[in-house]
A = this chain, B = another copy of it.
Amino acid sequence: MSLRKPALDPRTVEAVVASGYPEPYRSRVLPRSKRRIGDALGLTRIGINYTLLPPGKESSMRHWHTHEDEFVFVVEGELVLRTENGEQRLTAGMCAGFPAGSEDGHHLINRSDRDAVYLEISNRDRADGAHYSDPEVDLAWSPPHAPGRFTRRDGTPF
């Protein structure tokens, strides 16, 4: 059965394997793939990716957003959610939410032996910036550089 818009089977959207991170962070997330299903559906006020994270990989470096609420919903497999207060195991049907401006950095890690799939959803706000929480991660994402470019914490380019 082939769906037509406004309906969509997420698995029919192109899977993009890409990251704006420099090394050594890039290798910690790739070959994570994202299917940009919000874009495919013509949505502009919310962004929605259908994301596949292979075993051993991280969704992102641990971070929080200044102007965007973020929500994740596990579709398949098993992920570890890591925040300031430690780790929790999320299986299919479980979710997590990160309010804009809440300074508790988060990311997901696939510590299982099979692919995990999740939805990641946020409102879109051009003023948004991201702060990275782990001391060893020297990354920043903030206007006016965003969207499009990561810098070091002090704003200098890689």
- Can you tell how many copies of this chain the complex includes? 2
- Given A41-B96, A96-B6: A123 and B71 within 8 A (CB)? no
Would A95 and B45 count as touching, CB distance under 8 A?
no
The answer to whether the Cβ of A8 comes within 8 Å of any Cβ in the partner chain is yes
Within 8 A of B (CB), among A21-76: 37-38, 41-46, 48, 68-69, 71, 73, 75
Query: Is the Cβ of A42 less than 8 Å from the Cβ of B7?
Result: no
Among candidates B88, B90, B94, residue contacting A4 with C-beta atoms closer than 8 Å? B88
- Given A10-B93, A89-B1, residue A46 in contact with residue B73 (CB < 8 A): no
**In the assembled complex, how far is the CB of residue A122 from the closest CB belonging to chain B, in whole angstroms?**
7
Q: Does A106 contact B (CB under 8 A)?
A: yes
Verify if A97 is at the interface (C-beta below 8 Å from B).
Answer: yes
Give Cα A9–Cα B42 distance, bound, in whole angstroms: 29
